[in-house]
Amino acid sequence: MTLSIENVSAGYGRNPVISGIDLQVASGRVCALMGRNGSGKTTLLRCINGVLPLLEGRIQVMGREIQTLGREKIARMISVVPQVSFSPFSFSCVDMVLMAGASRIKAWSAPSVKEKQKALEVMAETGIVHMAQRAFNSISGGERQLVMLARGLFQDTPVMLLDEPTSHLDFANQHKIMALMRTLAGKRGMTVVITLHDPNLTHYYCDDVILIHEGGVAARGETLATLTDDILSKVLGDNIQCDVTKKGVFVVIPKQIPQNLNK
């Protein structure tokens, strides 16, 4: 198992935000973390990345315990695509991608020609090679997310973590990012863990899902079997139903829509 989380509890100070978390994700699979705001999704990502110490339990990547590794070794095993990205300096998009290779490049050394070519290849893979020389801060939020995705892929790790990568994107870019992530996970054999709020995106693009409620696991398993009316209503705090439209499209919607909207 590429990523293994066993009985993990963690928080800030001695106050646990999450407790008793168990999760296993195999290579080539995309796993969604779902839950209400403040449920502990981002806290769990920080634990996986070794940024937040555990109060209890252990996390292993490729059989190696994260808590025992230094930052350089963790960077070779785990890449992170943050929710929002901005640079205080006027770096080009290709420079932003190249920075992810820091763990492979010796101190005070510049990226090699081979590394630069690899960065351009990854940008081509994500459909943004035409933006290589553009200033990162001059492009749109959706384009920056694609650059950060290319940066994570350039880091070339067995595990990738994405923290709500669709939260600031328009409808088309939400699906573009998710479809691309799903395809690349299978193609590269990566283990992907992604926090999401939209159960529809989870249904269409994620193999597995873990639903976190009040700091613990409310449900886990393969997406199709796990996303049900009852569990979504419990975790997301509303009367929710999973339905299929007349055209055969799976959707997750509120059970009751106000009458004045039903026109």
Extents of the domains making up the chain: 1-77+157-224, 84-156
What pLDDT band is residue 61 in, cutting at 50, 70 and 90? very high
For residues 204 and 168, the model is more confident at 204
Q: What are phi and psi of 89, to 5 degrees?
A: -115, 160
What pLDDT band is residue 86 in, cutting at 50, 70 and 90? low
Cα–Cα distance between 61 and 155 in angstroms, integer?
16
- Mean pLDDT rounded to a whole number for the chain: 89
Mean pLDDT over 29-55 rounds to 94
pLDDT in tens, 136-189: 999 988 888 889 999 999 999 999 999 988 887 888 888 988 998 999 899 999
User: Looking at domain 1-77+157-224, does it have CATH number 1.25.40.10?
Assistant: no
Residues 6+ apart with CB under 8 A from 174: 166, 198, 201
Q: Which two tokens stand for residue 56?
A: 């209890």
Of 52, 42, 58, give the one whose Cα is nearest residue 3: 58
Residue 263 has pLDDT above 60, yes or no: no
Cα–Cα distance between 228 and 137 in angstroms, integer?
41
Cross-strand pairs, 61: 3, 64
Helical ranges in the chain per DSSP H: 41-48, 71-75, 93-98, 113-125, 141-155, 171-188, 199-205, 223-226, 229-236
Cα–Cα distance between 148 and 127 in angstroms, integer?
13
Residue 15 has pLDDT above 60, yes or no: yes
pLDDT in tens, 205-235: 999 999 999 999 999 999 989 999 999 998 9
Share of residues in the chain with pLDDT > 90 (%) = 62
Neighbouring C-beta atoms of residue 132, cutoff 10 Å:
18
